[in-house]
Amino acid sequence: MEEGFNAYRQSLESEEQSIKSTQSVVEQAIAWFRAHSMFVLAYGTGCGAIEMPPTFTSRYDIERLGVVGVATPRQADILIVSGYCSPKTLKRVIRSYEQMSDPKYIIGLGSCTINGGMYWDSYNTIKKLDDFLPVDMYVNGCMPRPEALIEGFVKLQEKIRLNSSEAGYIKYRDNYAHYRANQERLFGAQVAPSYEENFAGMN
Partner 1 sequence: MKIQLKNSIAPLGALKKIFEHPKTLCYPEVKAQNVTGYRGFHINDLSTCIGCANCQDVCMNEAIDMIAIDVDKNPKNNSGCIPRIDYGRCCWCSLCTDVCPPDSLKLESECIWADDDSNRFLYLPKDKPC
Partner 2 sequence: MERKTITIFHGPQHPGITGNMSVELELTGETITKARTHVGYLHRGFEKLIERRTVIQAFTIVCRICVPEPDPNEANFALAVEQLAGIEVSEKATYIRVMVLEMARLAAQLLWMAGQSGSVGLGTVGQWSIYDRDLILDLFEALTGGRVYHMYIYPGGVRRELPEGFLERLGALLDYLQKRLVEYDRLFFDNASFQKRAIGVGVVKSEEALHLGYVGQVLRGCGLKRDVRRDNPYFNYAALEFDIPTQSGGDVFARALVRRAEMRESIKILRQVIAQMPTEGAIMQKLPKHRKFTLPKEDTYVAVESARGEFGYYMAGDGSEMIRRMQVKGPSLIHGFTLLESLLVGEELSNVALIMNSLGICPPEIER
Partner 3 sequence: MQNLMQHFEIIQKTPTLYALHVSIETLFNTLHHLRYQSDFITLSQLTCTDWIEEERFELGYMLTNLERNCNLMVKCFIGRDDVTVASVVTLFPQAEVMERELHEMFGVGFEGNDTLYDFALEDWQDLPPMRREFDTLAYVQSHYDFRDGRDDNLDVKEQIKIRKAAAKSAKEAQGGA
* 164 forms part of the interface with partner 2 (CB under 8 A): no
| Site size for partner 3 (CB under 8 A) | 20
Q: Which residues contact 150 (CB under 8 A, 6 or more apart)?
A: 55, 60, 62, 65
Closest approach of partner 3 to the CB of residue 48, in Å: 19
Residues 47-86 interacting with partner 2 (rule: CB under 8 A): 47, 49-51, 53-54, 57-59, 69, 71, 73, 84, 86
Compute the distance between CA of residue 124 and CA of residue 79 in angstroms, rounded to an integer.
21
Q: Which of 188, 197, 200, 201 binds partner 3 (CB under 8 A)?
A: 188
Closest approach of partner 2 to the CB of residue 142, in Å: 7
Whole-angstrom Cα Rg for the chain = 17
Q: Is 25 exposed, middle or buried (0-12, 13-18, 19+ CB in 10 A)?
A: exposed
Taking residues 11 to 30 in sequence order and writing x for each that binds partner 2 by CB under 8 A, - otherwise, the string is --------------------
DSSP state of 19: H
* 150 forms part of the interface with partner 1 (CB under 8 A): yes
Q: Answer left, alpha or beta for residue 110, where phi above 0 means left and psi between -120 and 50 means alpha.
A: left
Q: Which of 41, 126, 137, 156 binds partner 2 (CB under 8 A)?
A: 41
